[in-house]
A and B are shown apart, each in its own frame.
Chain A
Amino acid sequence: MTERIVTVPNKLGIHARPAAMIVRAAVEFDCEIWVESPADKVNAKSIMGVMTLAASGGTAITVSAEGTDETEAVEAIIKVVRSGFGEEMI
């Protein structure tokens, strides 16, 4: 199990488009990946899950993974989140 915490850096948070970017990154990996906010923990490969997490800008989220490529997976998701999804930062 690999686990890392990251803060959502963009103003609008994880809405539909950012959620799609996370999911697209996640489905590249074989391992199980979760995204957890203070409110909920969801499957990172589920667009519905990531969207309903509704993590707003500035929220700390935990990215965790379990499986053979878990380290790379967590790394990739963190990278996408840190990029701010190409949007305006806080």
Chain B
Amino acid sequence: MLFKGIPASHGIAIGSAFLLKVEELRHARRSLDSPADAEQEIRRFKTAVSEVRHDLENIADSMGDVVEGRQILEFLLLLLQDPTINKEVESEILCEMVNAEYALSTTLRGVMEKFTVMADPYIRERVADVRDVGRRVIEKLMGTEKEALKNLDQPAVLVAKDLDPSETAGLRPGQILAIVTDMGGRTSHTTILARGLGIPAVVGLQGITSEINPRDTLIVDGIHGHVIINPTGKELKYYRDIRDKFQEAENLLQRMNPGPAVTEDGVRFELAANIELPHEVEFVNKLEADGIGLFRTEFLRLIQENGEDEEDHFQIYNKVASEMMPKPVIIRTCDMGGDKFRTGLDSVREANPFLGYRAIRIGLDRPAELSIQLRAILRASVHGNIRLMFPMVTHIEQLRGLRDLLGMVKNDLSARGIPFNEKMQVGIMVETPAAVIALDLMLPYVDFVSIGTNDLTQYTLAVDRGNPKVADLYDSFHPAVLRQIDTVVRLCHSRRKWVGICGSMAGEPLAVPLLIGFGVDEFSVAPSLIPDVKKMIGVVTTCAAREMAEKSLSIETGLKVRALVHSYVVGKYPEILLDENDWKTGG
């Protein structure tokens, strides 16, 4: 069950609900909604009374023969069980429809007034006893919850009507995963409190406290102001991913160099992020990335039942593009198949899934589905700097087919008067030797290319890196891979097209100087790698990088290429790259 409120403090939390009826801490008047609520309050009152009675009896027992003390306690016990007082409290709760604390304090005030005006000084003194008993009961009433909050066996999501800093001042960040309240706004106490604790909060969720039961599992999305009560497995998985990424990004920000990615000699490179989930945009912006170099869209299949709702696609693209504005967002059409999850529909068991039905091979086979995605991308293109990218193009006919399909969608949109960016850049992933070798034939149809080094390495070396028996043959520094990268960059630049790199190689510290040397225009890496890549770009000069890149083309093995870059970097900056793993493995 999804509830929408006001996002008050950023972050994602998943945990079990802890309901705090915070008004009771002030024993302020709280109106009850139904007779059932009143019954509940009376039960709560009776429980508190019997708990205080138990306490007092224990104290009395421990006093043994101290007669004075026992007498006082016995008197307190009589007060506690006074039927007149208790009936008055109960009728106050029922007739006035108020909470137990309020009813009790009102009643006791009346009792104390009566005592105070008594002529008999012995009785007047008993006002203190009334106050004592009253205080004990009220402490029980509010304390049971406060106490439970202190003794939570595991951190929980705090759910309350409203929070006041004085009531929650003792909360420790580790105790509370998130805060969810009925009341409040962006500047309310709850908001300030949550931000102070660095935990997510959603406020202004009117009535949510009556929807949530203790120990319900809650997802609190403080980014969008969503709260999901008892989520499905799918929702849990989706939000766990986002939460982990959010966490990772937050940690990264701690060790970030501000500003753009610039080489030691002052040449600027575009450093963009690969994202999978729309919510990552926020962190990407915090990381000061220059754009989204790869927006994977396979996730839509996961979170949607049918995966083909144009409006859903549009909303997501629109959000990402407008939040990144004016920075570019490269949306890659659905790259299903290969090693990626597939829907049941199109799974014929394949002997070689990587050589089989995947990516635009599926898209061109099912143009209706691909058109939906293209329409959504085009519609969103007027709301940001969107670029379109097709994966796994190996044949020129495919590229023509895709351009035709895109043209048809554009014509249809024009005919309907729906705006889109006529000049939206269109590019392809270069991830097969076919695309590299025949790139000159493809370039006239595209505005840019992005090298997918993972697939390019796998297809070039004919190595499935998921197979441990051959995984050590997988090496992006293999001369055959490096030479292809060099070829692609030269070809693109000779045709005045820009070239990016979005495979995991772009995030490898030792690859960064080489890629700079080859002249790659844009790096797109996982958000978590942005600080490291930025640092790496900062330690090389373009001149040295070019030398290394050139040299690497005539080096026999990947290992030797790594050693070359390693010695250069360590020679300059002994403090970095001391971890041998950086150049021995790294694949």
Contact = CB atoms under 8 A, between A and B. Distances in A.
Contact residue range for chain A? Answer: 20 to 34
User: Which among A12, A13, A52 has the greatest number of chain B C-beta atoms within 10 A?
Assistant: A52
Contacts of B126: 16, 51
Given A12-B122, A15-B122, A20 B75 contact: yes
A23 B84 CA distance: 12
Contacts of B111: 48
A17 B126 CA distance: 10
Given A16-B123, A48-B79, A48-B111, A54 B84 contact: no
A31 interface: no
Given A23-B78, A51-B126, A45 B83 contact: yes
A47 B120 contact: no
Interface residues of B, number: 21
B82 A16 contact: no
B84 A43 contact: yes
Given A13-B120, A16-B125, A54-B120, A42 B84 contact: yes
A80 to B, nearest CB: 14
A58 interface: no
B74 A15 contact: no
Contacts of B85: 46, 48
A38 B82 CA distance: 23
Interface in A2-22: 12-13, 15-17, 20
B390 interface: no
Interface string B105-121: 00000010011001110
Contacts of A45: 82-83
A52 B115 contact: yes
B90 to A, nearest CB: 14
Nearest to B79: A47
B144 interface: no
Contacts of B81: 27
Contacts of A23: 78
B71 interface: yes
B78 A20 contact: yes
Interface in A36-86: 42-43, 45-49, 51-52, 54, 56
B75 A47 contact: yes
B333 to A, nearest CB: 79
B82 A52 contact: no
Contacts of B118: 51-52, 54
Given A20-B75, A51-B115, A52-B115, A15 B82 contact: no
Nearest to A23: B78
User: Which among B114, B118, B123 has the greatest number of chain A C-beta atoms within 10 A?
Assistant: B123
A23 B78 CA distance: 8
A46 B79 CA distance: 8
A48 B84 contact: yes
Contacts of B122: 12, 15-17
A69 to B, nearest CB: 17
Contacts of A48: 79, 82, 84-85, 111, 114, 130
7 contacts: A20-B74, A46-B84, A48-B85, A48-B114, A52-B114, A52-B115, A56-B120
Interface of A: 12-13, 15-17, 20, 23-24, 27, 42-43, 45-49, 51-52, 54, 56
Given A20-B75, A42-B84, 14 more contacts: A16-B75, A16-B123, A16-B125, A17-B75, A17-B122, A23-B78, A43-B83, A43-B84, A47-B78, A47-B82, A48-B85, A52-B123, A54-B119, A54-B120
